[in-house]
Amino acid sequence: VTFFPAVLTLPEGSSATFFCNISMEDDSVLEYSLNWYKETNGSQAQKIAGISWNNLQTKADKYLLTNHTPSFKIEILNLHQNDSGFYYCGLIAFFDSDKVMESNKSHLVVTAAPEETTATDKPQVKEGNTPDHVKVMLLGILLPVGVVALLIFGYIMVMYRRGDVQEPPSENAPVEEKPSTVYVSTVDYGVLEFQLDQHTQVPPETWLADQTEYATIIFPEEKPVTPER
């Protein structure tokens, strides 16, 4: 009876696989059983699992046994550090006088599981290097704002050129005063000719030579004059 591999070193959480091969010289041995044992720190060996010749597979606790006569496989699942120790198999043949044959011993060493990467172990972003997702977020915010600002500026320029944009008058702005009108009286001079009444004609001998009469008439006509500023 042989048992291998001789040494296995595995981390916690993994599985260990050992093989036990048997060879029978006596053909009269038709029935047998195969047991697996564990020995820790020189203590007395303990049986951990077993399988009979007519079973193809069996599972006991965390041990999975498979029959591939003349080879048998044992898998130790979900290893823990307390699974470390020495393992071997024993063949029990059933006939007139039971015979027990033990294999050599193999050493299993279970190490601590590798530490998971914590948040502090993550690579830090160097100053001055903005992550790509931050750049994308900033671009998504600034692009719509820039488009809206451009549209507003274009609208103001178009309205300004059309002359539609006018500054509303301020309430405190002074009211433009209209220029006052100054009325100036004028004096015109002229010669008036008086016609004599046809019915009362004066004899020519009564007319005085070179008799001329003058009169000054003031007309109420008003002419607006705007004074110069």
Domain-located, residue 212: no
pLDDT, position 220: 62
108 near 57, Cβ under 8 Å? no
**pLDDT for residue 158:** 81
The range of the structural domain enclosing residue 61 comes to 2-111
Within-domain flag for 205: no
The answer to whether residue 130 sits within a structural domain is no
Q: Are 1 and 89 in contact (CB under 8 A)?
A: yes
Residues, the chain: 229
Q: What is the CATH number of the domain that holds 103?
A: 2.60.40.10
Integer Rg of the chain from CA: 65
**Is 90 among the domain residues?**
yes
Q: What per-residue confidence (pLDDT) applies to 108?
A: 96
- For residue 85, is it within any domain? yes
Q: What is the mean pLDDT of the chain?
A: 76
Q: How many domains does the chain fold into?
A: 1
Write down the pTM of the prediction.
0.50
Contact yes or no for 74/17 (Cβ under 8 A): yes
* 171 assigned to some structural domain: no
Percent of the chain with pLDDT over 90: 33
In a domain, 192, yes or no: no
Burial class (CB in 10 A: 0-12, 13-18, 19+), 37: buried
Residue 89 lies in a domain: yes
> 145 falls in which pLDDT band (50, 70, 90)?
confident
